[in-house]
């Protein structure tokens, strides 16, 4: 799969409360906020605006009942490339200190 820029959602728990459900819908739907691929070409200020809007929209969506399988959101990581990640606060503020690559969990389930 080709890498696409995204925000990685950090939660209070590393394991979901509903393992089977998360396996069926996919970890990406619970842990990633996809951004436009062109975001990495924008100025840092424009990237921050995009991130802030994405965090606000996701928080509205994630506040619906049953959406927080991993518990409360504690922050985000902005991942413009596979080898970079920058901390993002719950209010969307970016700290431009590169944290390096993120090891993403794999979860899959299927019904036949």
| Secondary element (H or E) of residue 78 | strand 73-79
For residues 60 and 58, give the distance between their C-alpha atoms in angstroms, rounded to a whole number.
Answer: 5
Pairing of strands 86-88, 73-79: antiparallel
Residue 36 near residue 5, CB atoms below 8 Å:
yes
Mean pLDDT for the stretch of residues 8-36 = 84
C-alpha of 24 from chain center: 18
Residue 108 has pLDDT above 80, yes or no: no
Structure tokens at 85: 């990640």
Residue 82 has pLDDT above 80, yes or no: yes
pLDDT band per the 50, 70, 90 thresholds, residue 22: confident
> For residue 37, what pLDDT is reported?
94
Show me where the domains of the chain are located. 6-88
């Amino acid at each position: 799969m080709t890498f696409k820029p995204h925000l990685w959602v950090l939660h209070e728990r590393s394991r979901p409360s509903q393992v089977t459900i998360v396996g069926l819908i996919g970890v990406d739907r619970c842990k990633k906020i996809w951004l436009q691929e062109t975001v990495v070409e924008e100025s840092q200020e424009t990237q921050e605006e995009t991130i802030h809007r994405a965090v606000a929209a996701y928080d509205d969506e994630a506040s619906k009942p049953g959406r927080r399988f991993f518990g409360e959101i504690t922050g985000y990581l902005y991942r413009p490339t596979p080898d970079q990640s920058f901390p993002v606060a719950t209010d969307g503020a970016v700290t431009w200190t590169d944290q390096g690559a993120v090891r993403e969990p794999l979860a899959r389930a299927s019904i036949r």
